[in-house]
């Protein structure tokens, strides 16, 4: 795959000819609705039978090999180069395929949002997934669990060799509840009931992992949560189950705030089998416009996590969505609308605006004015921002990555997984 950013005067025919692909391949890879409607700044994934590089002034084979992460000897061999120190500007070099690291992948699904259509999304993405996390078996105050209509998604997971992950959360009336968490974490018998019910569901439905997504715990629940996770591991591991936890993005161990103080990276890293670090929602629907998952902030979280958690337990979060904010932003005012990457492109096409790219956050954005004359700004993910995150995963050598949340409308993502990684199937 190559990533091409549309320039003024580009057409799909011209782009496809440049890369030696067909127009139909480009259309299908990017799910383009109207081939005549592409916008400046739009990132396209281009399927290529071979990869090539055109030598630029001042480049050497060593420079080219470093850029693409391949060896000089392989470039020499593929192009039958007699003298490696003698290459010319404009020379087209065939490139070997880069070695691909093996990673584990996961995506959260929310059957309440998409109903049985979720299963169709899982079928489509299943070949690229190690795990599938079903959000959520919410914990009630009496220790029982709210049932989820998950069987269609589970069947799709089994069909594709994907391990289902059962998610437990202190989720009540559409939000995470500190009070609910405290009720459970201060009562041993309620904890036992939660684990009893979870085990029954796992054994009945075929779940392989139990994931704890307890958020907004507060400092008072920090040690209590550690003990609860240890109790879960003690009960589940002898039965062959894995245990994971989803944790808020922190930059230090003593970071202040009810979202952060209850999550002890170091202790939890020693207890569970792996951790989903929720490295997204810097830009969120109720906050000011900005990138949802800026790579500079994601890197800081990952670098801190690596100081206290083994890298083979770290799963980095990636959003599968963006937000459309109505301007001017007013705190407590209208919340931003969540959109898929393809919906963002359609908005840019509809209003005839160019897509810009912020190099610090490694994220695309654009502004437009709607029919009522209201100004908007959209931040979302595209092939470039996903590639930047994949590059970080490879650089850090962590276990893998996961998505919130599977909704469709981002075909480039799956093609780039295949380009960058080999997905471990258990």
* Of the residues 76, 95, 114, the one at which a domain ends: 95
Q: Is residue 328 part of a domain?
A: no
d(CA 404, CA 291): 15
Output the pTM of the full model.
Answer: 0.91
Q: Are residues 294 and 202 in the same domain?
A: yes
Residues 160 and 76 in one domain: no
Residues 6+ apart with CB under 8 A from 351: 368, 369, 370
Given this model, what pLDDT does residue 67 score? 84
Give the model confidence (pLDDT) of 166-190 as tens digits.
Answer: 999 999 999 999 999 999 999 999 9
pLDDT tops 80 at residue 50: no
CA atoms within 13 A on the CB side of 12: 20
CB 106 within 8 A of CB 129: yes
Question: Angle at which helices 411-420 and 23-30 pack, to 10 degrees?
Answer: 100
| 38 and 168 both lie in a single domain | no
Domain C-terminal end among 95, 119, 137: 95
Phi and psi based region of residue 330 (left: phi greater than 0; alpha: psi -120 to 50; beta: remaining)? beta
* 30 within a domain of the structure (yes/no): yes
User: Within a domain: residue 402?
Assistant: yes
Q: Are residues 254 and 401 in the same domain?
A: yes
164 in the same domain as 49: no
- Which of 215, 261, 381, 419 is an active site residue? 215
* 85 shares its domain with 110: no
1 pLDDT band, cuts 50/70/90, is: confident
Do 161 and 236 share a domain, yes or no?
Answer: yes
Q: How many separate domains does the chain show?
A: 2
Judge if 132 and 36 occupy the same domain: no
Considering the domain architecture, whether residues 316 and 183 belong to the same structural domain is answered as yes
Please give the average per-residue pLDDT across 293-312, as a whole number.
Answer: 98
Report yes or no on 366 lying in a domain: no
Residue 350 resides in a domain: no
CATH classification at residue 40: 3.10.350.10
For the segment 213-238, the average pLDDT, to the nearest whole number, is 98
Backbone angles phi, psi at 193, to 5 degrees: -65, -40
Q: What percent of the chain has pLDDT over 70?
A: 99
Q: Is residue 161 part of a domain?
A: yes
Residues 6+ apart with CB under 8 A from 387: 3, 416, 420
Report pLDDT for 117. Answer: 87
Give mean pLDDT, residues 250-271: 98
CA 203 from chain centre, in angstroms, equals 28
pLDDT at residue 96 above 90?
A: no
Residue located via tokens 């093609």 = 415
| Predicted pLDDT at 19 | 86
Cα–Cα distances (Å) from 305 to 30, 115, 312, in that order, read 34, 35, 12
Q: Are residues 240 and 222 in the same domain?
A: yes
pLDDT at 306 over 80: yes
**Domain that includes residue 10, residue range:** 2-95
User: pLDDT at position 114, please?
Assistant: 57
Which of the four pLDDT bands, split at 50, 70 and 90, describes residue 115?
Answer: low
Active-site residue, 215 included: yes
Chosen domain end from 95, 130, 154: 95
Residue with tokens 């039958």: 80
Return the CATH number at 291.
Answer: 3.20.20.80
Residues 106 and 91 in one domain: no
Query: Mean pLDDT over residues 198-224, rounded?
Result: 98
Of 91, 92, 122, 119, nearest to 106 (Cα)?
Answer: 122
Q: 373 in a domain, yes or no?
A: no
Task: Return the percentage of the chain with pLDDT > 90, whole number.
Answer: 91
How much is the CA Rg of the chain, to the nearest whole Å? Answer: 23
Torsion angle of the four alpha carbons 83, 89, 91, 97, in this order, in degrees rounded to the nearest 10: 80
Flag whether 296 is in a domain.
Answer: yes
Q: Are residues 295 and 258 in the same domain?
A: yes
Summarize pLDDT for 319-375 with one digit per residue, the tens. Answer: 999 999 999 999 999 999 999 999 999 999 999 999 999 999 999 999 999 999 999
């Amino acid at each position: 795959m190559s990533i091409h950013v549309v320039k003024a005067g580009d057409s799909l025919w011209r782009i496809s000819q440049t890369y030696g692909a067909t127009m139909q391949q480009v259309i299908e890879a990017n799910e383009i609705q109207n081939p005549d409607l592409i916008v400046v700044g739009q990132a396209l994934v281009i399927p290529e039978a071979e990869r090539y590089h055109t030598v630029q002034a001042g480049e050497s084979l060593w420079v080219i090999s470093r850029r693409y992460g391949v060896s000089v000897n392989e470039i020499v061999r593929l192009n039958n180069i007699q003298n490696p120190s003698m290459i010319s500007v404009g020379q087209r070099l065939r490139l070997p395929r880069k070695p691909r690291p093996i990673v584990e992948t996961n995506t959260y699904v929310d059957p309440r949002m998409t109903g049985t259509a979720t299963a169709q999304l899982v079928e489509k993405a299943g070949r690229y997934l190690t795990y599938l996390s079903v959000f959520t078996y919410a914990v009630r105050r009496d220790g029982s669990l709210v049932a989820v209509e998950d069987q269609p998604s589970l069947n799709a997971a089994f069909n594709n060799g994907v391990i289902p992950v059962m998610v437990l959360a202190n989720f009540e009336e559409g939000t995470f509840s500190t009070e609910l968490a405290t009720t459970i974490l201060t009562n041993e018998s309620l904890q036992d009931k939660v684990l009893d019910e979870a085990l029954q569901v796992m054994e009945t439905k075929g779940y392989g992992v139990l994931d704890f997504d307890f958020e907004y715990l507060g400092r008072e629940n920090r040690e209590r949560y550690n003990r609860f996770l240890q109790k879960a591991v003690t009960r589940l591991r002898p039965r062959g189950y894995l245990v994971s936890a989803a944790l808020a993005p922190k930059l230090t161990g003593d970071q202040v705030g009810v979202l952060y103080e209850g999550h002890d990276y170091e202790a939890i890293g020693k207890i569970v089998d792996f951790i989903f670090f929720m490295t997204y929602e810097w830009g969120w629907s109720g906050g000011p416009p900005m990138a949802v998952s800026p790579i500079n902030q994601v890197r800081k979280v990952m670098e801190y996590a690596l100081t206290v958690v083994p890298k083979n337990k770290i799963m980095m979060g990636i959003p599968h969505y963006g937000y459309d904010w109505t301007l001017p932003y007013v705190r407590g005012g209208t919340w931003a609308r969540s959109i898929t990457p393809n919906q963002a492109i359609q908005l840019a096409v509809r209003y005839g605006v160019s897509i810009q790219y912020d190099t610090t956050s490694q994220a695309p954005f654009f502004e437009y004015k709607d029919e009522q004359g209201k100004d908007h700004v959209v931040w979302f993910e595209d092939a470039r921002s996903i590639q930047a995150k994949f590059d970080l995963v490879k650089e850090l050598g962590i276990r893998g990555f996961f998505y919130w949340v599977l909704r469709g409308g981002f075909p480039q993502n799956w093609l780039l997984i295949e380009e960058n990684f080999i997905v471990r199937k258990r």
